[in-house]
Amino acid sequence: MIDTFSNSGWPRLHDGQKRVLFEILVHGPQSRVELASRLGLSRTSLTRLARELVEVGFVEEGEMLPSAARGRPREMLRLRPGSAHFAGIKLTGDALYAVATDLSAQVVGKREYVLGSREVPDVVELIGRVVNEMLADLELPSAVGVSLAGDVRRVDGHEFVDRSVFLGWDDVPLAELVAAECGLPGFVSNDVLGLTAAHHWFGAGVGLDSMALVGVGAGVRSGLVSGGRLVVGAHGTPGKVGHPRMRGTGASCWRGHRDCVYSFVTTPAIEVNAGVEPGDYATAVRRAQLGDPRAMQAFDDAASALGIVVSQVINVFDPQKVVITGEGTAMLDLAYARFEEALGDTCDRMPAEGVIERQPFDFSHYARGAAINALRGLTGGLAG
């Protein structure tokens, strides 16, 4: 009999099974010989582990490929993407973005809702309704992940949301509340850290031992992978890059500063500095494109601020790659020279070509990151 999580059909995999699943999940179909070599396992051990994953339904035997040397053809082991499904939720101050993903992290369903209330019970009830609707007809609903701007504190296996400025939440046991509402294991992550993990497993950071992600939008934060693992910090608060001081006076940040990176690089700061209405970032972009001096200055300053943020990350962590993404990266289109200038002024050594990579963004990407965080939670994080 297969041991499963009490409120999910997901089996409790042991470490050997997790390692094999991770290799196939992230690096694609491989032969038993290749897997045994990559994992440092004997052929006998690998054969047993692969058979167990086939039995639980996550892996299947695929096509036969010619061997590089003389001998029997290689039988490839590949993932069964549709064998399990996850829900991912991204919360903002006024909206809920939801996706359903399969085991390969491909999005198979997507929803978007306006929050009628920011009260915790109301938001949890909406999450439960959305998750149950999305996963109802899918094979093996396994877990729910929720991401949001804020800190996630972990104490004795419990996850608490702290300092979620946009929702006004503090000390909220969100994972437990979501699990109870949905009838599935629940996991919570900071949105940028979840997106960092998603890129490490399935995006720009696949195969890298170290990478950083800088997310720019209503806030600014970074995530880091070091030694192949996501850095979550001792208190759940890594990646706080928004408050180094810079020259000039900008919008007041939530801590009361008017001369920090946050005062220039975030979308609310750009709106204030460009002289447009709150929430009208698109108008600020259009005015800058048309040559409006105030709007152009706002994006010049934002580009300089982003250069300072990226240089901090590079100077301190020296990652193999830095991914820049988020809904507020128009400064890279409007004032890239200012970004490069600030980077050059503050970086100890300018990064090589290709180290900094801008990635496209949609809010559903944060929701997908939350679903991937749920997968990581069920598997004990695997290798990441």
Report if residue 284 sits inside a domain.
yes
Name which of 89-98, 247-256, 279-288, 294-303 the model is least confident about: 247-256
Q: In the numeric block, which tokens belong to residue 90?
A: 């991204």
Residue 382 has pLDDT above 90, yes or no: no
Determine the pLDDT at residue 383: 42
Determine the pLDDT at residue 72: 58
Determine the pLDDT at residue 1: 36
Tell whether 97 and 236 lie within a shared domain: no
Torsion of CA 180, 184, 189, 191, to 10 degrees: -110
Residue 4 has pLDDT above 60, yes or no: no
In sequence order, what are the beta bridge partners of 189?
A: 147
Rounded average pLDDT over 305-332: 96
Tell whether 241 and 275 lie within a shared domain: yes
Rounded average pLDDT over 328-334: 97
Determine the pLDDT at residue 6: 52
Name which of 50-54, 147-151, 168-172, 244-248 the model is least confident about: 244-248
Q: What percent of the chain has pLDDT over 70?
A: 93
Report the mean per-residue pLDDT for the chain.
91
Number of domains in the chain: 3
Q: How far apart are CA 18 and CA 283, in angstroms?
A: 48
pTM recorded for the entire structure: 0.89
Determine the pLDDT at residue 87: 98
Q: How confident is the model at residue 9 (pLDDT cuts 50, 70, 90)?
A: confident
Q: How far apart are CA 177 and CA 120, in angstroms?
A: 9
Tell whether 215 and 348 lie within a shared domain: yes
Residue 66 has pLDDT above 80, yes or no: no
246 close to 260: Cβ distance less than 8 angstroms: yes
Q: How confident is the model at residue 2 (pLDDT cuts 50, 70, 90)?
A: very low
Determine the pLDDT at residue 236: 82
H or E segment at 267?
Answer: helix 267-274
167 close to 148: Cβ distance less than 8 angstroms: yes
Q: From the CA atom positions of the chain, what is the Rg in Å? A: 22
Render pLDDT for 176-208 as a digit per residue (tens, 0 to 9): 999 999 999 999 999 999 999 999 999 999 989
> Can you give the residue range of the structural domain that contains 72?
15-79
Report if residue 310 sits inside a domain.
yes
State the CATH number of the domain containing residue 162.
3.30.420.40
Tell whether 254 and 324 lie within a shared domain: yes
Report if residue 31 sits inside a domain.
yes
Q: How confident is the model at residue 162 (pLDDT cuts 50, 70, 90)?
A: very high
Q: How far apart are CA 223 and CA 241, in angstroms?
A: 10
Residue 384 has pLDDT above 50, yes or no: no
Report if residue 61 sits inside a domain.
yes
Rounded average pLDDT over 209-224: 95
Higher pLDDT among residues 246 and 202, named by residue: 202
Distances from the Cα of 231 to the Cα of 52, 222, 238, 304, angstroms: 31, 11, 7, 26
Task: Render 17-72 in DSSP notation, one character per residue.
Answer: HHHHHHHHHHH--EEHHHHHHHHT--HHHHHHHHHHHHHHTSEEEEEEE--SSSSS
Tell whether 317 and 370 lie within a shared domain: no
Render pLDDT for 343-361 as a digit per residue (tens, 0 to 9): 999 999 999 999 999 999 9
State the CATH number of the domain containing residue 30.
1.10.10.10
Tell whether 33 and 154 lie within a shared domain: no
Distances from the Cα of 9 to the Cα of 4, 146, 255, 299, 310, angstroms: 6, 20, 45, 50, 42
Render pLDDT for 136-146 as a digit per residue (tens, 0 to 9): 999 999 999 99
Tell whether 252 and 186 lie within a shared domain: no
Q: In the numeric block, which tokens belong to residue 294?
A: 């105030």
Rounded average pLDDT over 367-371: 97
Rounded average pLDDT over 109-113: 97
Tell whether 97 and 69 lie within a shared domain: no
Q: Which residues have a Cβ under 8 Å from the Cβ of 67 and sit 6 or more positions away?
A: 73, 74
Tell whether 97 and 124 lie within a shared domain: yes
Report if residue 384 sits inside a domain.
no
Determine the pLDDT at residue 69: 53
Residue 47 has pLDDT above 50, yes or no: yes
Q: How confident is the model at residue 174 (pLDDT cuts 50, 70, 90)?
A: very high
Q: How far apart are CA 313 and CA 290, in angstroms?
A: 33
Determine the pLDDT at residue 310: 97
Tell which phi-psi region holds residue 150, choosing left (phi > 0), alpha (psi between -120 and 50) or beta.
left
